Amino acid sequence: MRKLPHNFYKPLAIGAPEPIRELPVRPERVVHFFPPHVEKIRARIPEVAKQVDVLCGNLEDAIPVDAKEAARAGFIEVVRNTDFGDTAVWVRVNALNSPWVLDDIAEIVANVGNKLDVIMIPKVEGPWDIHFVDQYLALLEAKHQIRKPILIHALLETAQGMVNLEAIAGASPRMHGFSLGPADLAASRGMKTTRVGGGHPFYGVLADPQEGQTERPFFQQDLWHYTIARMVDVAVANGLRAFYGPFGDIKDEAACEAQFRNAFLLGCTGAWSLAPNQIPIAKRVFSPDVNEVLFAKRILEAMPDGSGVAMIDGKMQDDATWKQAKVIVDLARMIAKKDPELAKAYGFTESL
């Protein structure tokens, strides 16, 4: 059950920061995961931070049981000692039924809470999971004098979580969005695939038989089309963001780009990268189209204060399209700070 409207935006603890009402506009094309327990990877984080929009320390899957505490300590160390600039800092904590999650959240908020933007919760199954994390974060924020609320990102990895998407999306003003976790979700659903994202050679449609034709063409389809579309619908309807998650075949860059592009076309904001070679793929796929940015700039130039009406290429522009144009241009300008080539293509020759 949702909180009553007049209570929805009230802090859940005395001294906790006021909940936000709109997500900040910032580039989130690529969420790059790193294992914080590996010292040589931690050493490269300051340089990697300049290349990505979001850095996410991974404390959950792929971290050995005997390295859980080292990963937590390594994440705190690297966040404390790194200037991330305008790169967002996320962390994926361990699952809510694990023996590590309480210390994950408590120690990270206590030590680097003011530098943490988003906490990702694995295997979210219903609003009750969000309510628990929401209250726990509020108490910790109040205790440690955190200045802005830490947002919650839900990782969708179970059939029950997919069934409860709407309730999860509306569970808290902290909600940032969703990411698709294809491997665990496939297992939860009983899907007959061992692939982490992408298509499957046996999932497709067979062309109708044609007279005189000995072989009927088979067209491979996207296993995740419905799931991504449903995730996007619920996210956008609630003012949240949807992300494609991991693509497991690191060497198959063409298939990775195809999956990312499918997600982009369906409305996703960005995707995860698990290795350095996936970073440029996500950035390329999820950057605003150059022509769209150039047209949006013309709208802002024609209507500097957003009032009135302008005709551009025979199309009427008003305050609504001005707002859309401003979102695109603001996002492009932020991306241009990290990407000199796109800055030139977007026409941002002035100082950024």
Binding-site residues from annotation for Mg(2+): 157, 184
Label residue 243 exposed, middle or buried (CB < 10 Å: 0-12, 13-18, 19+): buried
Nearest-angstrom CA–CA distance, 55 and 337: 17
Q: Tell me whether strands 30-34 and 270-273 are parallel, antiparallel or unpaired.
A: parallel
Pick out the residues of the known binding site for substrate: 92, 157
Counting every residue written for the chain, the total comes to 352
Q: Cβ of 46: how many Cβ atoms within 10 Å?
A: 14
339's tokens: 């990407």
Sole residue written with tokens 């300051």: 46
Nearest-angstrom CA–CA distance, 79 and 116: 8
Packing angle between helix 127-144 and helix 101-112, nearest 10 degrees?
A: 40
Q: Cβ of 92: how many Cβ atoms within 10 Å?
A: 25
Residues 30, 277: contact at Cβ < 8 Å? no
Strand ranges inside 200-275, DSSP E: 204-206, 218-220, 241-244, 270-273
Nearest-angstrom CA–CA distance, 15 and 28: 30
Q: Tell me whether strands 175-180 and 241-244 are parallel, antiparallel or unpaired.
A: parallel
188's tokens: 């939860």
Pick out the residues of the known binding site: 92, 157, 184
327's tokens: 């979102």
**CB neighbours of 331 closer than 8 A, spacing ≥ 6?**
25, 26, 27, 288
> What is the helix (H) or strand (E) element at residue 115, kind and residue range?
none
Nearest-angstrom CA–CA distance, 333 and 344: 11
